[in-house]
């Protein structure tokens, strides 16, 4: 029988529920248990693939091609584990299944009702993931914040599961304690309300993770214990940390793994976090900077700038930097700037490397192409991911191969030189407006050319990376591109699809059709990011 830990958010979103879930997983794994982590997104969307990244953050692609929430990426990075589609659930998925079953008479003529049939389906899905992963402990993060309509049925499922097996189910409330500048004191009231709201859903939290900019002092811990009906040692203080990778260690300072295992009636084995601890120590020690620019367009929400849309790219930079003993300084560069004014391009010279990550549509594209040209001509290390690779090919075609007006049919369907065009099997899907989960998704193999920089980085000829695209390099242009000095250094095993391009006369100019950021882990950085930052270090030294 597996154990279940539900992680539920209080007060507001964005306080680190995902990192808490991942970190809790890490410390239980370090005690010798098989751990898996599930994410519940309360949206009606069937998956994250159709959500705008500015609104919802990055779409994280799993090995089996599911388009999921960015938290799945955190779980993978902390647990060092590939997570598959069974671990991701949305309201859309749950309802879709219930309705299909109803149509198939699986409910045998019964009235199908929101309760209990929907929570039962949620529980069925959780158990499916537990069986598939053979986990001893499943940690289930319920998206949103307690008190919303959206996640109420998921809380109901958690309550039902607990009712059936009280000893096997545990609840963690991740809450936020503000310290309003004008008051100058940490306030516990919002957390008290959150805990009470959870109570009204029939759930009593076992632990309260208290996120704040500072540590909780004793009076406040005592107060929360009394008002939220938990023991004092169940109030866990998690102040802001310089790195998310420190959070497991912060939780362990409060002996959380031991407390959780005892509550679940599981043996407390010796803890092994040695590798993780030394990685965190290394992170703290580094001093020499490496400056990386990311040219994107999914940054702005109102007056605020967020980097959530590129979270895996950012983490991959951090992993590679830590591996090389460097301190990454990352700037967000808005592609629109380069469209307004060429003068902004000169700013790019201060970077040790620049990344153009994945993207869709035509907004910002010409700005990105200008930036890529600048990086190519000034010999500044460049990593182009997916769209970043396609745009590098377009820039090269226009300015080096002299194919005037070269473009992607995604940007200009009428272009005279469609150097990037839609993949054959995508044409029909687009005609039918079948957008959901229909891209080329997930793991595919690529074969790397002998003597190429890509092969040097990976140290092997065959690699597997994750994909998410509808367009590809048009094979009719392979020759002219190669003749002019852009090497095709990675292709699919059937030779039909270009996976990697690089420039011969450049310190590091790499474009990949796949997304190397999704496989980067703190202890195992992706080789292309390591190569990219190494080249950046050389530029700086020079
Ligand atoms: N829009 C491009 C395509 O669909 C690139 C996608 C991406 O960058 N993930 O092929």
Q: Is 377 a catalytic residue?
A: no
User: Quick one: angle between helices 218-228 and 189-200, nearest 10?
Assistant: 20
Residue 4: CB within 6 Å of ligand 1? no
Domain ranges of the chain: 3-38+100-279, 287-541
Q: Could you tell me if 384 and 373 are in contact, meaning their C-beta atoms sit under 8 angstroms apart?
A: no
Any atom of ligand 1 within 6 Å of the Cβ of 467: no
pLDDT grade for 301, boundaries at 50, 70 and 90: low
CATH code of domain 287-541:
3.40.50.880
Q: What is the position in ligand 1's atom list of the atom closest to the CA of 388?
A: 8
The answer to whether 517 and 312 are in contact (CB under 8 A) is yes
Q: Is 517 one of the catalytic residues? A: yes
C-alpha–C-alpha distance, residues 420 and 93, integer Å: 34
What is the percent of the chain with per-residue pLDDT over 70, rounded to a whole number?
99
3-38+100-279 and 287-541 agree in CATH topology: yes
CA atoms within 13 A on the CB side of 349: 7
Q: What is the CA radius of gyration of the chain?
A: 25
pLDDT digits (tens, 9 = 90+) for 238-282: 999 999 999 999 999 999 999 999 999 999 999 999 999 999 998
Cα of 199 vs centre of ligand 1, distance in Å, is: 45
For residue 305, name the pLDDT band (cuts at 50, 70, 90).
Answer: low
pLDDT category at 107 given cuts 50, 70, 90 is very high
* Catalytic residue (one of 210, 228, 386, 457): 386
For the segment 494-511, the average pLDDT, to the nearest whole number, is 97
The residue with tokens 């270090």 is 537
pLDDT range class, residue 285, cuts 50, 70, 90:
confident
Distance 335 CA to ligand 1 centre (A): 16
Q: Is 360 in the pocket of ligand 1 (CB under 6 A)?
A: yes
Q: Is the pLDDT of residue 55 over 90?
A: no
Would the CB of 469 count as within 6 Å of ligand 1?
Answer: yes
- Verify whether ligand 1 is closer than 6 Å to residue 386 (CB atom): yes
pLDDT tens for 118-166 read 999 999 999 999 999 999 999 999 999 999 999 999 999 999 999 999 9
pLDDT, position 77: 98
Spell out a b/e string for 234-265, using b for 16 or more CB atoms within 10 Å of the CB, else e: bbbbbeeeeebbbbbbbbbebebbebbbebbe
In sequence order, what are the residues at sequence separation of 6 or more whose Cβ sits closer than 8 angstroms to the Cβ of residue 224? 188, 191, 192, 208, 210, 216, 230, 235
* 516 contacts: CB under 8 Å, gap ≥ 6: 316, 385, 465, 526, 527, 528, 529
Task: Please confirm, yes or no, whether 246 is among the known catalytic residues.
Answer: no
Q: Is 410 in the pocket of ligand 1 (CB under 6 A)?
A: yes
Which of 323, 417, 467, 515 is catalytic? The answer is: 515
Over pLDDT 90: what percentage of the chain?
92
- Whether 307 has a pLDDT exceeding 90, the answer reads no
Q: Among candidates 491, 506, 493, which has minimal Cα distance to 455?
A: 491
Distance CA 506, CA 375 (A): 10
Nearest CA to ligand 1 atom 7: 358
3-state secondary structure of 326: coil
What was the pLDDT predicted at 52? 86
Q: How far is CA 231 from CA 10, 199, 221, 236, in A?
A: 19, 16, 10, 11
User: What is the topology classification, in CATH, of domain 3-38+100-279?
Assistant: Rossmann fold (3.40.50)
- Which span out of 194-198, 307-311, 361-365 was modeled with the highest average pLDDT? 194-198
Helices 70-79 and 17-29: angle between axes, nearest 10 degrees: 20
């Amino acid at each position: 029988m597996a154990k279940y830990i539900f992680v539920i958010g209080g007060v507001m979103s964005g306080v680190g529920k995902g990192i808490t879930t991942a970190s809790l997983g890490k410390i239980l794994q370090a005690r010798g248990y098989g751990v898996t982590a599930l994410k519940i997104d309360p949206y009606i969307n069937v998956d994250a693939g159709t959500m705008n990244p500015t609104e919802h953050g990055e779409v994280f692609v799993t090995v089996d091609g599911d388009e999921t929430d960015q938290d799945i990426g955190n779980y993978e990075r902390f647990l060092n584990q590939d997570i598959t589609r069974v671990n991701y659930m949305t309201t859309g998925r749950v309802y879709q299944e219930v309705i299909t079953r109803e149509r198939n008479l699986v409910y045998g003529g019964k009235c199908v009702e929101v309760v209990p049939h929907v929570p039962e389906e949620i529980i069925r899905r959780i158990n499916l993931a537990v069986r598939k992963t053979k986990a001893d402990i499943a940690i289930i993060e319920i998206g949103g914040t307690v008190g919303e309509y959206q996640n109420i049925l998921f809380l109901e499922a958690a309550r039902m599961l607990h009712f059936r097996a009280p000893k096997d189910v545990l609840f963690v409330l991740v809450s936020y304690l503000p310290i309003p500048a004008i008051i100058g004191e940490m306030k516990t009231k919002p957390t008290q309300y959150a805990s009470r709201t959870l109570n009204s859903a029939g759930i009593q939290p076992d632990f309260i993770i208290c996120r704040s900019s500072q540590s909780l002092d004793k009076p406040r811990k005592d107060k929360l214990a009394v008002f939220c009906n938990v023991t004092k040692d169940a109030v866990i203080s998690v102040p802001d940390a310089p790195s998310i990778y420190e959070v497991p260690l912060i939780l362990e300072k409060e002996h959380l793994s031991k407390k959780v295992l005892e509550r679940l009636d599981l043996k407390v084995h010796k803890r092994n976090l040695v590798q993780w601890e030394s990685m965190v120590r290394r992170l703290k020690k580094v001093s020499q900077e490496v400056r990386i620019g990311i040219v994107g367009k999914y940054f702005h929400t109102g007056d605020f700038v967020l980097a959530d849309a590129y979270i895996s790219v950012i983490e991959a930079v951090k992993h590679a930097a830590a591996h090389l003993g460097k301190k990454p300084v990352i700037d967000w560069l808005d592609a629109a700037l380069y469209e307004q004014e060429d003068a902004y391009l000169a700013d790019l010279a201060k970077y040790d490397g620049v990344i153009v990550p994945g993207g869709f549509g035509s907004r910002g594209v010409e700005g990105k192409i200008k930036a890529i040209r600048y990086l190519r001509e000034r010999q500044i290390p460049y990593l182009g991911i997916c769209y970043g690779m396609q745009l590098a090919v377009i820039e090269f075609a226009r300015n080096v191969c002299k194919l005037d007006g070269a473009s992607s049919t995604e940007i200009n369907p009428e272009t005279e030189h469609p150097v990037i065009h839609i993949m054959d099997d995508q044409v029909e899907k687009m005609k039918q407006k079948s957008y959901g989960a229909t891209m080329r998704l997930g793991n595919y193999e690529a074969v790397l050319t002998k003597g190429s920089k890509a092969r040097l980085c990976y140290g092997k000829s065959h690699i597997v990376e994750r994909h998410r695209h509808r367009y590809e390099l048009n094979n009719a242009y392979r020759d002219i591109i190669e003749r002019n000095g852009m090497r095709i250094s990675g292709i699919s095993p059937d030779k039909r699809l270009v996976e990697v391009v690089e420039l011969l006369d450049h310190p590091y100019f790499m474009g990949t059709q796949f997304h190397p950021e999704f496989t980067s882990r703190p202890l195992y950085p992706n080789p292309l990011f390591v190569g990219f930052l190494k080249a950046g270090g050389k530029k700086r030294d020079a």
